[in-house]
Structure 1
């Protein structure tokens, strides 16, 4: 299985091979700010299974765990496409929305549920 994730303008692309190790829904405040939504959804792939193409800008911020997270976003359209959590150096997270695939596997885990908006369904 090969999947392609892209930014809104298509300049920054990530080819992912195989199935994701996990798909997670995150309710943390930083994901809410990053997405402009009430949560973020990430597909985590093994580093060797991810091939980024195109120009990316980077932004590093501390995660709620205390470890840093390095975000890669398109300098043209600003889409956040993938990120590297320092606490999981063997994995790269891809924004599920960047795949634009309604058949993408659903999240199997949700984190930071204490920050979930009350009207968002719990998984």
Structure 2
């Protein structure tokens, strides 16, 4: 089975997952833009089990629909690596850039298109949602 490891910039914090992602997507919401310091978040969802190595600092944020998300980032270099959603057991979303793999699968979905920067063009075949459909 395919194993992937995502890690922070300094290497102190990492997460290893098995298999293919259950979904890969982009989020253009303003919270993801400020969290990543970029125009959007590029995330991959995986089912457990997964293994975390190193220390993480946590930040909990409530989404527009009321769900709570716990983001984990490296307390040394500040890289956001992964997050979980309260009440959703066994699942984890990982920042695709933390895999440092230019061959990682492309996004399937794009949410919060209403906040997408005008210069960002979606690849062909990506499902686009004005808000988060969940």
TM class by smaller structure: over 0.9
- TM-score w.r.t. length of structure 1: 0.94
Cα RMSD, aligned residues only: 1.1
Partner of 1:57: 57
Q: CA deviation at 1:89?
A: 3.3
Q: Which runs of 5+ in 2 are unaligned?
A: 127-134
Q: CA deviation at 1:44?
A: 0.3
Q: Secondary structure of the residue that 2:32 maps to in structure 1?
A: helix
* Cα deviations by residue, 1:29-56 (Å, 9 ceiling, x for unpaired): 11100111110011100032x2111011
> Which one has a bigger Cα radius of gyration?
2
Distance in 1 (CA, whole Å) between partners of 2:35 and 2:48 is 22
- TM-score w.r.t. length of structure 2: 0.87
Q: Does 1:77 align with 2:77?
A: yes
Q: Secondary structure of the residue that 2:106 maps to in structure 1?
A: coil
Q: Which runs of 5+ in 1 are unaligned?
A: none
Moved over 4 A (4+): none
Q: CA deviation at 1:87?
A: 5.7
Distance in 2 (CA, whole Å) between partners of 1:44 and 1:53 is 18
Partner of 2:131: none
Larger RCO (alpha carbons 8 Å, 6+ apart) = 1
Partner of 1:41: 42
The count of corresponding residues between Structure 1 and Structure 2 is 122
